[in-house]
Structure 1
Amino acid sequence: MSGSPARRVVITGIGVTAPGGVGVKNFWSLLSEGRTSTRRISFFDPSPFRSQVAAEVDFDAELLGLGAQEVRRMDRAAQFAVVTAREAVTDSGLDFGALDPHRTGVTIGSAVGATMGLDQEYRTVSDSGRLDLVDHRYAVPHLYDYLVPSSFAAEVAWAVGAEGPSLVVSTGCTSGLDAVGHATDLIREGSADVMVAGATDAPISPITVACFDAIKATTPRNDDPEHASRPFDATRNGFVLGEGSAVFVLEELTSARRRGAHVYAEIAGYATRSNAFHMTGLRPDGREMAQAIRVALDEARLAPDAIDYVNAHGSGTKQNDRHETAAFKRSLGEHAYAVPVSSIKSMVGHSLGAIGSIEIAASALAMEHGVVPPTANLHTPDPECDLDYVPRTARDWRTDAVLSVGSGFGGFQSAMVLTRPERGTA
């Protein structure tokens, strides 16, 4: 188990930039109404590719408060992170100017860094691939910031005035869970008092689409983009690429209560494991994810039947959905059949490193509103995926403890337990 239970860590601010609408209010509206935001790719001509659909964010950086120089300096994923962090900070009600900057830190997760910026700049300096020797004179002045993902954490730290621990976590599709988990540990161990933590990715570019085409991980259902993402459905045939960001303000519970903060949830347990097995393959029994779930439950001091809702990874690939179903049965026992499980990727796509944080936001908001988001587009049950996946329509459901999980290429398996803080004693 990681960290110590002596300092309890809670979420007091949430920011979300996601397909279907920027901001927490728009994000929750989409999820609770079961709407999908998947469509034909508009950022470039996708016709040469096998998969031509994605979940894009309608994002106007300057309208959302970024200056022209910030837009020029930052890749799209960094812009997401800064805008989203600002929403989280405002939502928290904390006066960051009054905090000790050396006790305030940042962790940002990202799977693919500044993919869109690097892709665009390569096309520019190579004259769309016609030059063998690229001409650096045509590059943007801040091209180095696109090369190093650490710039994401630096931009957020500058935006909030954090001078404490600041880093990027890159563990593939579990990056968003792992960044928040690491930030929690930093507060628990006493290395920081406040953390701005989350994840961002903007991967919808020709190189990313080509990579997933090569391994046939993304769906070729191009004739029906709105219904292309079908986690746990028997007709699923791959995930839908997405983009976005979610960022949180984390602080110690006693401090949050002292200042009268609104507390969304306590991060009661977190664990991560690796299968040391295959870059993209998963063992069908789900043992590594199950182990991460068990350790996270132990850290939260909860029995499996205390979980009221499972926010699944639910990517919509044949392999992952079966693996994950097996992991829930292995870790939760008979309770796996009683607890509602859903995948928001059916509505907002799979934003790679960002999705873990976006799913944490969905989990906290499900607890806040007493509503479980649905798995949209689930019409044809798969006999091998036989749990309660909340098909198509959101469900009113009292939720005191949520399990959110992630699975990533490279064999990464992460699990986080969120609870209402009143379940324990301050």
Structure 2
Amino acid sequence: MENKRVVVTGVGAVTPLANDLQSTWERLVNGESGIDKVTKFEEGQFPTDVAAEVKEFDPGSFMDPKDARKMDRFTQFAVASSLMAVKDANLTIDDSNADRIGVWIGSGIGGMETYEKQFRLYEKRGYRRVSPFFVPMMIPDMASGQVSITLGAKGVNSCTVTACASGANSIGDAFKVIQRGDADIMITGGAEAPITEMAFAGFSSARAMSTNPDPATASRPFDKDRDGFVMGEGSGILILESLESAKARGAHIYAEIVGYGSTGDAYHVTAPAPEGEGAVRAMKQALQDADLNPNEVTYLNAHGTSTEYNDKYETLAAKNVFGEHAHKLAISSTKSMTGHLLGAAGAVEAIFSVKAIEDSVIPPTINIKNLDPECDLDYVQNEARKQGVNAVMSNSLGFGGHNVALVFKKYK
């Protein structure tokens, strides 16, 4: 049986740049940053005081405040982004199609904020004071579950948990559900709200986060003075749809998703495999799945975390996969502006990838002042570039050795 073609017909996002996709995209293209001083706890508790927080988010604008109180912040983000994506797709979900519409939303950590609050209550007041909603608020799959409930989508309902690759894996897995004919439409992406004291403590102890006190320059992928990632929060949701369904609805098509590669390093719990060996295999797998030659890719949305090994090894991986074309390939890390949204990063960056195709503009990597000599490719430094974009690869890598590459191309 021939695989179905799958297209993107709707997008929605809550990010540190804005609480909707259009404003987020405009600020991103303008090279603006959503990173600032952390406000969720007192400064000085940790080696770093900067974060990419979602600002002025009101869950009551998207859902009943009573329902919102039974959701962790990451789930609220997912529900809000999904409602915006469904509206953007002009999609009505009812008895005629609900069984053929699924949800697949990933989260790397889930309800960390809920866990911390409820554990403190337990320590002070005992188990009777712990919320009966504690477990369903905390577990990572509840973003997908609550979106399904809110929208009435009754098809496959799942959640991929692969650390910082969760959102990208979820999109790839949802793509395959439609491609093989198990659903017509999938609501998919990632959500994360990890800016809590314990998450900061853990990543600080691991020396993974930037200790640069200046929010404007803390996230600086590919710069020789980079010193770690900046933690972010938010959600990105895409509506993936079979081409037949999209045509039948007369839906707007942003782009076509054509390739998915997913591999494991089998190397180390936090460090990437030397020279990005696992990423290389995922990228090659995605190109093969897409039936594209490396020189047909216009833009690489890099994982680009602003950590020492990621940026160096991802550069080596690009050279391995794209050969001479790597030096002609436009590459950027949008984490320089959004921070690292962990399990939501790949989803938000997938949206940026399809927007790059639609608008013929490649967002920049800001904060590159002194390029690392070992990072010697074209990182679209500091200013967006107007350029026709035929195909985009978006990379996501995660603790545990997870490597994901997604490929989108202009719909024809």
**TM-score under structure 1 length normalisation:** 0.94
Partner of 1:323: 313
Contact (CA 8 Å) 1:284, 1:322: kept in 2 or not?
A: no
Partner of 1:370: 360
Query: How big is each residue's C-alpha offset from its partner over 1:241-298, in whole Å with a ceiling of 9 and x where there is no partner?
Result: 0000001111101221232111011110001000100011223321211111111111
Contact (CA 8 Å) 2:356, 2:363: kept in 1 or not?
A: yes
Instruction: Provide structure 2 residue ranges, at least 5 long, that are not aligned to the other structure.
Output: none
Contact (CA 8 Å) 1:400, 1:419: kept in 2 or not?
A: yes
Q: Is 1:176 paired with 2:154?
A: no
Partner of 1:185: 176
1:41 to 31, 38, 43: 38
Q: Is 1:236 paired with 2:226?
A: yes
Query: Please, which moves more after superposition, 63-72 or 367-376?
Result: 63-72
Following superposition of structure 1 onto structure 2, how do residues 5-404 of structure 1 map, counting pairs within 5 Å?
6-97=3-94, 99-127=96-124, 135-222=126-213, 224-404=214-394
CA distance in 1, matches of 2:371, 2:177: 42
- SS in structure 1 at match of 2:201: helix
- SS in structure 1 at match of 2:94: helix
Following superposition of structure 1 onto structure 2, how do residues 405-424 of structure 1 map, counting pairs within 5 Å?
405-422=395-412
Displacement of 1:63 in angstroms is 4.5
Instruction: Provide structure 1 residue ranges, at least 5 long, that are not aligned to the other structure.
Output: 128-133
Displacement of 1:100 in angstroms is 2.2
Query: How big is each residue's C-alpha offset from its partner over 1:283-326, in whole Å with a ceiling of 9 and x where there is no partner?
Result: 33212111111111111111000000000000000010011000
CA distance in 2, matches of 1:60, 1:67: 14
CA distance in 1, matches of 2:149, 2:293: 41
> How many residues align structurally?
412
Query: How big is each residue's C-alpha offset from its partner over 1:329-376, in whole Å with a ceiling of 9 and x where there is no partner?
Result: 000111111011000000000010000000001101111111100001
Q: CA RMSD in A?
A: 1.2
CA distance in 1, matches of 2:196, 2:2: 42
Contact (CA 8 Å) 1:61, 1:71: kept in 2 or not?
A: no
Contact (CA 8 Å) 1:284, 1:326: kept in 2 or not?
A: no
The one-letter amino acid of 1:267's match is: I
CA distance in 2, matches of 1:29, 1:393: 13
Runs of 4+ in 1 over 6 A off after TM superposition: none
Query: How big is each residue's C-alpha offset from its partner over 1:204-259, in whole Å with a ceiling of 9 and x where there is no partner?
Result: 0000001111110000112x112100000011000000000001111101221232
Displacement of 1:5 in angstroms is 5.7
Displacement of 1:152 in angstroms is 1.6
CA distance in 1, matches of 2:253, 2:220: 33
- SS in structure 1 at match of 2:109: coil
Query: Please, which moves more after superposition, 329-338 or 140-149?
Result: 140-149
Query: How big is each residue's C-alpha offset from its partner over 1:347-406, in whole Å with a ceiling of 9 and x where there is no partner?
Result: 000010000000001101111111100001111110000000011111101001001001
- SS in structure 2 at match of 1:322: helix
Q: 1:173 to 1:99 in 2, by over 3 A?
A: farther
CA distance in 2, matches of 1:292, 1:414: 6
Contact (CA 8 Å) 2:75, 2:191: kept in 1 or not?
A: yes
CA distance in 2, matches of 1:360, 1:157: 21
Contact (CA 8 Å) 2:62, 2:83: kept in 1 or not?
A: no
Contact (CA 8 Å) 1:201, 1:351: kept in 2 or not?
A: yes
Contact (CA 8 Å) 2:111, 2:137: kept in 1 or not?
A: yes
Q: 1:58 to 1:324 in 2, by over 3 A?
A: same
Partner of 1:131: none
CA distance in 1, matches of 2:226, 2:345: 19
CA distance in 2, matches of 1:304, 1:369: 22
- SS in structure 2 at match of 1:382: coil
Contact (CA 8 Å) 2:106, 2:140: kept in 1 or not?
A: no
**TM-score under structure 2 length normalisation:** 0.98
CA distance in 1, matches of 2:344, 2:160: 11
